[in-house]
Structure 1
Amino acid sequence: MSKILSQNDTIYALSTCYGKAGVAIVRISGPEALRVLHDMQFAKRIVPRMATLGKLYDCLSSELVDEAIVIYFPKTSSYTGEDVVELQIHGGIAVINKIISILSSLNYLRLARNGEFTRIALENDKISLAKAESLIELINSETEHQRKVAIRHYNGDLEEMYIRWRKLIVGLLSIAEAYIDFPDDMLTLGELNKLDQDIESLLAELQSNIAFFDKANALMSGITISIIGATNVGKSTLMNILSKSDTSIVSNVEGTTRDVVKTKIELCGLPIIIQDTAGFRETDDVVEIMGIDKSKKAMRDADIVVVMLDVSNLTDLSIFLQVEKFKKTETYVLVVLNKIDKVDNSDHSELQLIKYLDSINFRYNNVLATSLKLEQDQSEVINLIESVAKEFVQFGDVNMITNIRHQNTLQDCSYHLKNSLSKEALELKTEELRYAAKEIGGLLGDITMEEVLDEVFSSFCIGK
């Protein structure tokens, strides 16, 4: 990929959202950044990294445009590694449009492309690739846990882990390369076993992180909860309770919900996608049948399935056969026995249901008897769903790798490490290690042959 910025380019862009606001910031980066202030007749003396209040004028008509705060960052201390000028102007649409119009008329400036300021910072070694990618995650964060994951990545936690893995692979590759390049120093069986053990250790660490990929993706894009059940068991009522709005139509008429109704909410700081589905029942209605087919797909897509039952009508439990058939193996299943206000002994019904589920070896995470008419019971259902949703969050020693490119790269790296263990010939083992090194290098920067050779010769004694 060619460099976006040539050495003589100076770029500009609005760095805040377009629209009415108290303040808007226009950023200018490049060797001609300070020239903009001269052409816009900014008369105040500029001191690097200090806010200066002054007037900005139209370059052609000398008409006053706005009074603004100007901050100049020399390239040694700027975000991009180039001279940067920030114009903190009033956030009115007319003011923004006028400033952008003036800048676009200057032939030594051009409008920045998407992400170009950060791309320049990367090319000038002001920011790492991993940090640049985590910045996007931080900007796109919508929930508290997304923010926590993104700020950990931006703070370098993930990068430190990649650097350590990179160093380990360079070390493994240097040992293998050494015995190929210097055949007089034959690799003994014990040394070969030690090499394989070190590869296995690194592979195990990668795979322990790979195991969290699905949960990491759900954490960033949204944990999908599908509410499944027969008609008129309270699915739409639960949908409205969780979304705190009249998202779904609630009616005594069976088959009211004929499509998958979706909404996105934040629950206990997590992004949640709720899906209210068409009720399962025997029907000749073509449209309702289509809705039931969509309900089956919703189960396949779900991270959590909430099976709703009417406690007063447990004669047909075939819904569990449908759930078992269509859900993913790792999907969490919660069973909610609704409408306990209609029966005298809900505990008996709950025990009978649990015995039935155990008899068919149905995997479920919890069974809760409740009445969604009661606020206290509503809270119990929400708390149950929250407790399961929180299991998608794994902080502590495990870094949540949420970037899809990183996930694919680490899976490829793991594949080549696994292949290297299966190769008996040292040359083939080394080739797989080279592939693994290339993959991990893509996260931080390529592992060069010079780097491998440096590692090789640094381990030799002086007289060798």
Structure 2
Amino acid sequence: METKKYTIIARATPLGQGSIGVIRISGDKVINVIKYTLKLNYLKPRYAHYLPFFYKNKIIDKGIVIWFPKPNSFTGEDILEIQCHGNPILLDLLINNILNISGIKMASPGEFSKRAFLNKKFDLTQAEAISDIISANSKAAVFSAMNLMNGKFSLLLKELKKIIINLRSQIESFLEFDYEINFALFCKKILIKIEKLLKILINIIKYVTNGIKIKEGIKIILIGPPNAGKSSLMNLITNKNVSIVTNIPGTTRDILHENIYINSVPVEIIDTAGIRDTDNQIEILGIQKTLKEIKNSNYLFFIIEDKISEKHLFQIIKKYLKKFIKKIPIIIIRNKIDITNNIPGIIYNNNYTIIKISTKTKKGISILMNFIKKKIIYTNTNEDQFTAKERHLNSLNNIYKYLIKGKNNFLNTNSIELLSEDFRLIQKELDSITGKFYSKDLLNNIFSQFCIGK
């Protein structure tokens, strides 16, 4: 590929002044840089040398230099790292001077990591973990990104692929030697294995979905009728006076966002306009924005007054939230137990979790916070969790659709040929996650989001 024709160079440290600035060079011309900038013919590999740096035959600085000969380097190519003083002018002088050597160019964003991937130093999911480590905004995100980097996701995919290849082999063998196989028994065994594969896939999809939550943070949206206590609850959870609280219905007419950390996990709390039938155009717009915001949230806290009957509650849910019920967990918050004289508590049933609180007296708030920590935060942050991307989830969902379609077609037609084609598409989709099968556009899109020098 074109990227391998040139030796590349870039700063590996952020712009601005600092005590140290690092320049990274990768490619076949590294030996020329050693001769030109260090005035040496050879360096001991993987050893820190304290040396002078030359600019047009004049010493411009002194610092540490490390040479990593191929293939035992990050990119799989010769790499030279120069650690000088972190003056931006000094760094620019050194880089521009090295660019005078024929065959060396400035690196594009993510080009070092891209070369490492192309040289099979890691798969595509591990390459993506590098940007996740750099951009992690919480302790949980750092450890989850490292799990991705260390191959936890790759291992799951490898096991999944092993099962898929085994199934494909059996299917292809039947197509070649069907006269030697009991067809009814074969169909039964294949369907059992497809069901097993679906269960494994569902668990992986769950892991990946949680990984996206860890990377992007968990979004909890507060909705409900006007004056139910959404804004008061927002202020209690965030421990800030974020939302205006009044007895006037429809006070909150826009979406309010507040970011907090719970057990080192970023959580976004979203306060919304009260849901009710109204002719007020501003309120109507606020309600429309609320329903749109639900689609981007991970959990829905539906706040109502405790005096509302179960029948009325489910009428409201049916009217406004029916299409979200299977897509997002809904937690019912029965507020104002100080008026109904009920005790705080939590009730689990098959459909919803119900928590009884009073935002006025703060009774039950500790129960709610423990629920958030144990059932939302902890559930989504176990030690084996890894960060993930939307493209991973999209590919896994595509695999799930292929499996369901293949199973149903097989049940209806008993066509081995159609099933074989479905499994070919499944394996191709799986290979696109790890990068065994990739397009140039996919690589450019992924690595262009990296910083220059990485």
Query: 2:252 is paired with a residue of what secondary structure?
Result: coil
- Which position in structure 2 is the counterpart of 1:33? 30
* Contact 1:21/1:92 (8 A) holds in 2: yes
* Contact 2:34/2:42 (8 A) holds in 1: no
- Which position in structure 1 is the counterpart of 2:96? 101
Query: 2:23 is paired with a residue of what secondary structure?
Result: strand
- Report whether the alignment pairs 1:164 with 2:132: no
- Report whether the alignment pairs 1:81 with 2:76: yes
Query: 1:413 is paired with a residue of what secondary structure?
Result: helix
Query: What amino acid maps onto 1:436 in structure 2?
Result: I
Runs of 5+ in structure 2 lacking a partner? Answer: 438-454
CA-to-aligned-CA distance 1:140-190 (integer Å, 9 cap, x gap): 322233233322222122212222222222222222223333455345533
Q: Which has the larger radius of gyration?
A: 1
Q: CA deviation at 1:316?
A: 13
Query: 1:370 is paired with a residue of what secondary structure?
Result: coil
CA-to-aligned-CA distance 1:8-57 (integer Å, 9 cap, x gap): 41001122222233322221100112322332245697321111122223
The 1:446/1:426 distance shift into structure 2, 3 A limit, reads farther
The 1:41/1:231 distance shift into structure 2, 3 A limit, reads same
- Which position in structure 1 is the counterpart of 2:331? 333
Q: CA deviation at 1:81?
A: 0.8
- Which position in structure 2 is the counterpart of 1:432? 422
In the alignment, the residues of structure 1 paired with residue 195 and residue 368 of structure 2 have an alpha-carbon distance, to the nearest angstrom, of: 44
The 1:19/1:134 distance shift into structure 2, 3 A limit, reads same
In the alignment, the residues of structure 2 paired with residue 325 and residue 283 of structure 1 have an alpha-carbon distance, to the nearest angstrom, of: 14
Alignment of 1:416-455 (within 5 A): 416-421=402-407, 422-423=409-410, 424-444=414-434
In the alignment, the residues of structure 1 paired with residue 26 and residue 416 of structure 2 have an alpha-carbon distance, to the nearest angstrom, of: 51
- Which position in structure 2 is the counterpart of 1:365? 353
Query: What amino acid maps onto 1:335 in structure 2?
Result: I
Indicate the structure whose relative CO is greater, using CA pairs within 8 Å and at least 6 residues apart. Answer: 2
- Report whether the alignment pairs 1:48 with 2:45: yes
TM-score (ref. length: structure 1) = 0.78
In the alignment, the residues of structure 2 paired with residue 74 and residue 381 of structure 1 have an alpha-carbon distance, to the nearest angstrom, of: 56
Q: How many residues get paired? A: 429
- Which position in structure 2 is the counterpart of 1:402? 388
CA-to-aligned-CA distance 1:259-318 (integer Å, 9 cap, x gap): 10113332223222211223456766533442233233334543323344567x879996
- Which position in structure 1 is the counterpart of 2:138? 143
Runs of 5+ in structure 1 lacking a partner? Answer: 448-464
In the alignment, the residues of structure 1 paired with residue 106 and residue 248 of structure 2 have an alpha-carbon distance, to the nearest angstrom, of: 58
The 1:72/1:362 distance shift into structure 2, 3 A limit, reads closer
In the alignment, the residues of structure 2 paired with residue 47 and residue 140 of structure 1 have an alpha-carbon distance, to the nearest angstrom, of: 34
- Report whether the alignment pairs 1:286 with 2:281: yes
Identity of aligned residues (%): 27
* Contact 1:308/1:336 (8 A) holds in 2: yes
Q: CA deviation at 1:214?
A: 4.3
The 1:265/1:107 distance shift into structure 2, 3 A limit, reads farther
* Contact 2:227/2:247 (8 A) holds in 1: yes
Q: CA deviation at 1:391?
A: 5.8
TM-score (ref. length: structure 2) = 0.80
In the alignment, the residues of structure 2 paired with residue 247 and residue 103 of structure 1 have an alpha-carbon distance, to the nearest angstrom, of: 53
Query: 1:302 is paired with a residue of what secondary structure?
Result: coil
| Aligned alpha-carbon RMSD (Å) | 3.7
- Which range moved further: 108-117 or 178-187? 178-187
CA-to-aligned-CA distance 1:171-229 (integer Å, 9 cap, x gap): 22222223333455345533443233333322332133335554443333222212234
* Contact 1:163/1:444 (8 A) holds in 2: no
Query: What amino acid maps onto 2:23 in structure 1?
Result: V
Q: CA deviation at 1:392?
A: 4.5
- Which position in structure 2 is the counterpart of 1:452? none
Q: CA deviation at 1:387?
A: 3.1
In the alignment, the residues of structure 1 paired with residue 387 and residue 195 of structure 2 have an alpha-carbon distance, to the nearest angstrom, of: 21
In the alignment, the residues of structure 1 paired with residue 313 and residue 17 of structure 2 have an alpha-carbon distance, to the nearest angstrom, of: 52
* Contact 1:80/1:117 (8 A) holds in 2: yes
Query: 2:180 is paired with a residue of what secondary structure?
Result: coil
* Contact 1:297/1:326 (8 A) holds in 2: no
- Which position in structure 2 is the counterpart of 1:24? 21
In the alignment, the residues of structure 2 paired with residue 236 and residue 119 of structure 1 have an alpha-carbon distance, to the nearest angstrom, of: 47
- Which range moved further: 191-200 or 269-278? 191-200
Q: CA deviation at 1:326?
A: 3.2
* Contact 1:229/1:307 (8 A) holds in 2: yes
In the alignment, the residues of structure 1 paired with residue 229 and residue 2 of structure 2 have an alpha-carbon distance, to the nearest angstrom, of: 56
- Report whether the alignment pairs 1:134 with 2:129: yes
The 1:436/1:362 distance shift into structure 2, 3 A limit, reads closer
The correspondence for 1:219, drawn from 214, 220, 241, is: 214
Q: CA deviation at 1:321?
A: 4.5
- Report whether the alignment pairs 1:14 with 2:1: no
